[in-house]
Protein backbone atom coordinates (compact mmCIF):
# COMPACT_ATOMS: atom_id res chain seq x y z
CA UNK A 1 0.00 0.00 0.00
CA UNK A 2 3.01 2.28 -0.20
CA UNK A 3 1.85 3.87 -3.46
CA UNK A 4 -1.54 4.66 -1.92
CA UNK A 5 0.19 6.28 1.07
CA UNK A 6 2.43 8.27 -1.26
CA UNK A 7 -0.55 9.52 -3.25
CA UNK A 8 -2.48 10.33 -0.09
CA UNK A 9 0.50 12.36 1.13
CA UNK A 10 0.59 14.24 -2.15
CA UNK A 11 -3.15 14.95 -1.86
CA UNK A 12 -2.49 16.54 1.54
CA UNK A 13 0.39 18.60 0.11
CA UNK A 14 -1.81 19.81 -2.74
CA UNK A 15 -4.53 20.75 -0.24
CA UNK A 16 -2.04 22.73 1.87
CA UNK A 17 -0.75 24.47 -1.26
CA UNK A 18 -4.31 25.30 -2.35
CA UNK A 19 -3.86 23.45 -5.65
CA UNK A 20 -7.40 22.15 -6.20
CA UNK A 21 -6.72 20.89 -9.73
CA UNK A 22 -3.82 18.68 -8.61
CA UNK A 23 -5.70 17.59 -5.47
CA UNK A 24 -8.68 16.44 -7.50
CA UNK A 25 -6.54 14.58 -10.04
CA UNK A 26 -4.62 12.82 -7.26
CA UNK A 27 -7.87 11.88 -5.54
CA UNK A 28 -9.09 10.21 -8.73
CA UNK A 29 -5.92 8.10 -8.83
CA UNK A 30 -6.11 7.35 -5.12
CA UNK A 31 -9.77 6.33 -5.35
CA UNK A 32 -9.06 3.93 -8.22
CA UNK A 33 -6.42 2.20 -6.10
CA UNK A 34 -8.53 2.29 -2.95
CA UNK A 35 -11.58 0.80 -4.68
CA UNK A 36 -9.46 -2.12 -5.87
CA UNK A 37 -7.98 -2.50 -2.39
CA UNK A 38 -11.48 -2.58 -0.84
CA UNK A 39 -12.71 -5.07 -3.41
CA UNK A 40 -9.71 -7.34 -2.91
CA UNK A 41 -9.70 -6.93 0.90
CA UNK A 42 -5.92 -7.10 1.10
CA UNK A 43 -2.93 -4.97 0.19
CA UNK A 44 -2.24 -4.51 -3.50
CA UNK A 45 1.00 -5.82 -4.92
CA UNK A 46 3.18 -3.38 -6.89
CA UNK A 47 2.20 -5.24 -10.07
CA UNK A 48 -1.49 -4.77 -9.29
CA UNK A 49 -0.92 -1.08 -8.62
CA UNK A 50 0.82 -0.71 -11.99
CA UNK A 51 -2.05 -2.56 -13.68
CA UNK A 52 -4.60 -0.22 -12.12
CA UNK A 53 -2.61 2.89 -13.02
CA UNK A 54 -2.11 1.62 -16.57
CA UNK A 55 -5.85 1.03 -16.89
CA UNK A 56 -6.58 4.54 -15.60
CA UNK A 57 -4.02 6.04 -18.02
CA UNK A 58 -5.64 4.18 -20.90
CA UNK A 59 -9.06 5.55 -19.91
CA UNK A 60 -7.62 9.08 -19.94
CA UNK A 61 -6.02 8.60 -23.37
CA UNK A 62 -9.31 7.37 -24.80
CA UNK A 63 -11.21 10.24 -23.17
CA UNK A 64 -8.76 12.81 -24.57
CA UNK A 65 -9.33 11.45 -28.05
CA UNK A 66 -13.11 11.38 -27.59
CA UNK A 67 -13.27 14.93 -26.22
CA UNK A 68 -11.08 16.26 -29.01
CA UNK A 69 -13.32 14.61 -31.61
CA UNK A 70 -16.41 15.98 -29.87
CA UNK A 71 -14.98 19.49 -29.93
CA UNK A 72 -14.50 19.86 -26.17
CA UNK A 73 -10.88 20.95 -25.73
CA UNK A 74 -11.40 22.04 -22.09
CA UNK A 75 -12.42 18.53 -21.05
CA UNK A 76 -9.58 17.03 -23.12
CA UNK A 77 -7.15 19.35 -21.34
CA UNK A 78 -8.42 18.18 -17.93
CA UNK A 79 -8.03 14.53 -18.96
CA UNK A 80 -4.51 15.28 -20.23
CA UNK A 81 -3.63 16.79 -16.85
CA UNK A 82 -4.95 13.70 -15.06
CA UNK A 83 -2.93 11.51 -17.44
CA UNK A 84 0.18 13.51 -16.60
CA UNK A 85 -0.42 12.88 -12.88
CA UNK A 86 -0.95 9.15 -13.46
CA UNK A 87 2.15 8.87 -15.66
CA UNK A 88 4.23 10.31 -12.81
CA UNK A 89 3.45 7.18 -10.75
CA UNK A 90 4.03 4.68 -13.56
CA UNK A 91 7.50 3.23 -14.17
CA UNK A 92 9.63 5.01 -16.73
CA UNK A 93 8.34 4.30 -20.20
CA UNK A 94 10.14 2.33 -22.84
CA UNK A 95 11.06 3.73 -26.21
CA UNK A 96 10.08 2.01 -29.43
CA UNK A 97 13.74 1.07 -29.91
CA UNK A 98 13.86 -0.60 -26.47
CA UNK A 99 10.79 -2.68 -27.32
CA UNK A 100 12.19 -3.63 -30.76
CA UNK A 101 15.35 -4.84 -29.02
CA UNK A 102 13.26 -6.90 -26.56
CA UNK A 103 11.30 -8.37 -29.46
CA UNK A 104 14.50 -9.35 -31.28
CA UNK A 105 15.84 -11.01 -28.13
CA UNK A 106 12.60 -12.91 -27.58
CA UNK A 107 12.49 -14.03 -31.23
CA UNK A 108 15.92 -15.63 -30.75
CA UNK A 109 15.13 -16.98 -27.28
CA UNK A 110 11.76 -18.49 -28.22
CA UNK A 111 12.95 -19.54 -31.69
CA UNK A 112 10.10 -17.78 -33.46
CA UNK A 113 10.12 -18.95 -37.07
CA UNK A 114 6.63 -18.30 -38.39
CA UNK A 115 3.71 -15.91 -38.06
CA UNK A 116 1.87 -18.65 -36.15
CA UNK A 117 4.32 -18.21 -33.26
CA UNK A 118 3.64 -14.48 -32.83
CA UNK A 119 1.03 -15.15 -30.14
CA UNK A 120 3.69 -16.90 -28.07
CA UNK A 121 5.97 -13.90 -28.63
CA UNK A 122 3.30 -11.43 -27.48
CA UNK A 123 2.58 -13.56 -24.42
CA UNK A 124 6.25 -13.40 -23.44
CA UNK A 125 6.62 -9.70 -24.28
CA UNK A 126 3.61 -8.20 -22.51
CA UNK A 127 4.71 -8.87 -18.89
CA UNK A 128 8.05 -7.20 -19.66
CA UNK A 129 6.48 -4.01 -21.02
CA UNK A 130 3.34 -3.79 -18.89
CA UNK A 131 2.75 -0.25 -17.74
CA UNK A 132 5.75 1.04 -19.65
CA UNK A 133 4.67 0.73 -23.31
CA UNK A 134 1.32 0.64 -25.09
CA UNK A 135 0.12 -2.89 -25.93
CA UNK A 136 -1.35 -1.85 -29.29
CA UNK A 137 1.97 -0.35 -30.35
CA UNK A 138 3.77 -3.50 -29.20
CA UNK A 139 1.38 -5.61 -31.30
CA UNK A 140 2.14 -3.39 -34.31
CA UNK A 141 5.89 -3.89 -33.78
CA UNK A 142 5.50 -7.65 -33.39
CA UNK A 143 3.41 -7.86 -36.55
CA UNK A 144 6.13 -5.97 -38.43
CA UNK A 145 8.90 -8.50 -37.76
CA UNK A 146 10.10 -10.61 -40.66
CA UNK A 147 9.34 -14.28 -40.22
CA UNK A 148 7.96 -16.71 -42.79
User: Residue 97's pLDDT is what?
Assistant: 87
User: Residue 13's pLDDT is what?
Assistant: 93
Note the helical H segments in the chain: 2-17, 20-40, 46-69, 73-89, 96-110, 118-129, 135-143
Q: Which CATH number applies to 96-143: 1.10.287.1120, 1.10.10.410, 3.60.10.10, 3.30.565.10?
A: 1.10.10.410
Domain-by-domain residue ranges, the chain?
2-89, 96-143
Q: How many Cα neighbours within 13 Å face the side chain of 61? A: 10
- Report residue 147: phi and psi, to 5°: -135, 160
User: Residue 143's pLDDT is what?
Assistant: 83
Contact 136, 145 (CB under 8 A): no
The CATH architecture one would assign to domain 2-89 is Orthogonal Bundle (1.10)
Contact 138, 99 (CB under 8 A): yes
User: Residue 60's pLDDT is what?
Assistant: 92
Left (φ > 0), alpha (ψ -120 to 50) or beta: where does 89 sit?
Answer: alpha
User: Residue 148's pLDDT is what?
Assistant: 62
Averaged pLDDT, groups of 10, the chain, 148 residues long: 83 92 91 90 85 88 92 91 88 82 87 82 85 81 77
Contact 21, 81 (CB under 8 A): yes
The CA distance from 93 to 60, in Å, is: 17
Put simply, whether the predicted model's pTM sits higher than 0.75 gets the answer no
Amino acid sequence: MSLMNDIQGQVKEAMKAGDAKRRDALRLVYNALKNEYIEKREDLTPEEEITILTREAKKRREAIEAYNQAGSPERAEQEAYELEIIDAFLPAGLTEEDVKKMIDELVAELQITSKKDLGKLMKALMPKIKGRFDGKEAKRLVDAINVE
